Structure 1
Amino acid sequence: MFSLRKSLSVGFAVCAGMAADPTEARLAYSAHLTDGGIRFVIVRGSFEFSDNLADFRAIVIREQPAAIGFDSPGGNVAKAMELGRIIRALGLSTFQVRDAECASACSLAFLGGVSRAAQPGSIGVHKSSFSDTSGIPTHDAVSAVQQLTAEVIGYMMEMGTDPALLQLSLSYDSDDIRYLSGSEMAKYKVTTGASAQTLSIDVPAESAERRASSSNSQQANTLQSLEIPLASSGSILHPRGSAPIKLAEDAAAKSVASAPNGTAVKILATSRDWYRVSTAGHIGYMHSSWIRVDQFEERSGDRRFVQVKSFSSLPEAEAFVKQSSVPLVVHLAANGWLAVTLKDIYAAQEAKDVLNALKSNGLIAEDSMVTLGNTYVRRVCCE
């Protein structure tokens, strides 16, 4: 365990003079060390959709921090959630002290921490947290609000936070702000149980040793393996041999046409689990599981995976694979989650037979499923 209350407050105070102008678009990052020798990184500045998070990845590779703190007034929601997902995938903790600011969209990035600790009054929320829709494909103002609300609710649930926090945020106008009390942070699961009085975060000894012994090249490989390329083209690959082109991002929406497997697809936009596409002379929507994306690295042809579990962080997925009696591997999925599958791939009927046999013997979960793996970007673990 290391105590952050004094050391991190001092760290923020010392660095205040070199803080980035809050109106500056580009995020900035700085590395620091507690009195106990624990490394942490401070994220400063406003979140903009144009921000490239490569600098964040670079400082994590170089410094190998245990935790991430913030000094940010907020900004673009999509970019804040992107950073939060990177933090979660890397198994990092987050913290926040009152000497610095984490308001508006910054609160979403904070939620990415596997372990989260914050002093009362250090995290602020309000309606403007959800007003910048850049990065969220929409067609009009009303659908923009609806889509962004759905994105944020999904993200909060993914991070283990009570979505009721969104309702509280929307009750405060953009010219006002609501700083959360310690009890509210606990109630909405913004924090994860670390003491608000001492602001301490537990770092397991084995984790600290692993961080200390890991080389920069290993950390770099991990970060690179979690990069998700922009999906821009592909071809239809559906278990039924063809896929419908929908009028909206909904399986129940009307189909304007159907296209057979192998038909080329141009991906115009991505929205959660749906692509807006141009294919077979039509423009419409297709579910991401119906398209084999050219930019993804998985190459399984028309053979099937048996997916047994999914996780929001790579360390959790790795731990699950290592304790399993069944040979498993982990794939990075297009939504940022980690999908755990059987190591082998199978023909369609063979995959169903294997699935049923393993289920009947209690070796895999009842909700395990057969999939073509179209949403899998690449294998990231474990040979």
Structure 2
Amino acid sequence: MRLSFPKLAHLDIRRGLMMVLWLQVAIAAVMIAGDWLGRNPPGAPSSVPGMSDPVAPGDQRRRFDPDRPVPRRDAPALPPGIDLPSTYPDRLTFERKTIEGFGDVLLLNGSIATGDADRLSSYLDGASTEDLPATVALSSPGGQVIEALAIGRMLREAGKNTAILPGMACMSACPYILASGEQRRVSPEGYVGMHQHYYDENLYMPAYFAVEEIQRGQGRTMEYLIDMGVDPGVMIYSLTTPPEDIYILLPEELLDSRLATEMLD
């Protein structure tokens, strides 16, 4: 007995391909919506304090605003000689600065974007020895983790020290650059914060498709911290803090993990 499908018989190849295409678009839309809802679940407002609330031991998690990562209104003034814009640049800027009472630094300021490691490499190659201070000061809300690791390895190879000065913040991926310094000095009036981050630039990929890449990225990050002489256990602060929040490390946590080798006076 031969079966017939009169409706399907009228579909030509073009219409069939269009149906498949629209089906794929519909599936993709559902997946994107599900992924977005997973990261932004509806419900009551978060009980996590905002960035403007002061940090105290046991109360260190704050809602994360990359445009304003300093976590309190009464944050100390920046050191003399530093005048940062009110918003972070979309990618790192490199500038030599002289800080009163501290000396010369190479200031890296802004978000960590794709290509910044190559840009910094070109900057270092093109600068004379006297234009390259021994210390790199950091002011960044974070950005691309893999880019931060590449920058960190470059600075370690160059034998640079790193510093977080009063009033400056180093958040998200930025602490991995901090880890690269042979000496890592942090002011108690500066801020170092960690949280979960994505290793894949495709933010629309559902998490269950990215598990392998996430694990690979975490492995590379832990290997990097070990190479830098930092306790990889510091990642507990990032792994247990959602990406919409930030965990501000206390001086004793910075020293115990060796993310800081010294707290500045």
Same fold per TM (> 0.5)?
yes
Tell me by how many angstroms 1:82 deviates.
1.0
Residue 179 and residue 60 in structure 1: after superposition, are their counterparts in 2 closer, same or farther (change >3 A)?
Answer: farther
1:85-124: CA deviation from partner (whole Å, max 9, x where unpaired): 1111111111102411210001101111000110235111
- 1:38/1:66 contact within 8 Å kept: no
Tell me by how many angstroms 1:197 deviates.
4.8
Match of 1:65 among 126, 130, 133: 133
- Equivalent residues in 2 for 1:150-229 (5 A)? 150-192=219-261, 194=262, 196-198=263-265
Match of 1:33 among 76, 86, 98: 98
Q: Whole-Å Cα distance in 1 between the matches of residues 128 and 140 of structure 2?
A: 19
Secondary structure of 1:124's match? strand
> Where is the strand percentage greater, Structure 1 or Structure 2?
1
Tell me by how many angstroms 1:38 deviates.
3.0
Letter of the aligned partner of 2:176 in structure 1? L
Match of 1:11 among 62, 73, 81: 81
- 1:78/1:133 contact within 8 Å kept: no
Counterpart for residue 184 of structure 2: 116
- Equivalent residues in 2 for 1:285-324 (5 A)? none
- Equivalent residues in 2 for 1:328-347 (5 A)? none
Q: Whole-Å Cα distance in 2 between the matches of residues 98 and 35 of structure 1?
A: 12
Secondary structure of 2:220's match? helix
> Where is the helix percentage greater, Structure 1 or Structure 2?
2
- 2:78/2:166 contact within 8 Å kept: no
Tell me if 1:80 matches 2:148.
yes
The alignment yields a C-alpha RMSD, in angstroms, of 2.7
Structure 1 unaligned residues grouped into runs of 5+: 1-5, 135-139, 199-383
Letter of the aligned partner of 1:89 in structure 2? E
Residue 54 and residue 172 in structure 1: after superposition, are their counterparts in 2 closer, same or farther (change >3 A)?
Answer: same
Secondary structure of 1:16's match? coil
Q: Whole-Å Cα distance in 2 between the matches of residues 83 and 146 of structure 1?
A: 21
- 2:144/2:173 contact within 8 Å kept: yes
Match of 2:216 among 147, 172, 177: 147
Q: Whole-Å Cα distance in 2 between the matches of residues 37 and 189 of structure 1?
A: 21
Tell me by how many angstroms 1:79 deviates.
0.8
Q: Whole-Å Cα distance in 1 between the matches of residues 102 and 139 of structure 2?
A: 22
Matched length: 181
Q: Whole-Å Cα distance in 2 between the matches of residues 168 and 191 of structure 1?
A: 15
Secondary structure of 1:53's match? helix
Residue 173 and residue 77 in structure 1: after superposition, are their counterparts in 2 closer, same or farther (change >3 A)?
Answer: same
The share of aligned pairs that are identical, in percent, is 26
The one of the two structures with greater contact order (alpha-carbon pairs below 8 A, sep at least 6) is 2
Q: Whole-Å Cα distance in 1 between the matches of residues 133 and 258 of structure 2?
A: 23
Counterpart for residue 105 of structure 1: 173
Tell me by how many angstroms 1:37 deviates.
8.0
Residue 32 and residue 87 in structure 1: after superposition, are their counterparts in 2 closer, same or farther (change >3 A)?
Answer: same
- 1:91/1:114 contact within 8 Å kept: yes
